[in-house]
């Protein structure tokens, strides 16, 4: 996920994206807890994507 792509989205779209990412993060955490997760690096990628979305959302709120 690129930051430039996120900046093109509206705040509603970013909110939806954040919700989807948090659900994915929860799912990955549950898979890790039950030892079903093979690619542990996915957790870090999702975490970074969440941070990107939150940063862009914060920028948009400050502009408005």
* pLDDT tens-digit map of 44-62: 999 999 999 999 999 999 9
**pLDDT, tens only, 9-28:** 999 999 999 999 999 999 99
User: Which CATH number goes with the domain that contains 43?
Assistant: 1.10.287.310
DSSP for 13-58, please give it.
Answer: HHHHHHHHHHHHHHHHHHHHHTT--S-THHHHHHHHHHHHHHHHHH
Residue range(s) defining the domain that contains residue 40:
3-63
Report the domain count for the chain. 1
Average pLDDT score over residue span 26-32: 97
């Amino acid at each position: 996920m690129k930051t430039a792509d996120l900046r093109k989205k509206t705040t509603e779209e970013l909110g939806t994206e954040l919700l989807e990412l948090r659900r994915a993060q929860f799912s990955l955490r549950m898979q890790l807890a039950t030892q079903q997760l093979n690619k542990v690096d996915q957790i870090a990628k999702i975490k970074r994507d969440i941070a990107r979305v939150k940063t862009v959302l914060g920028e948009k709120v400050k502009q408005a």
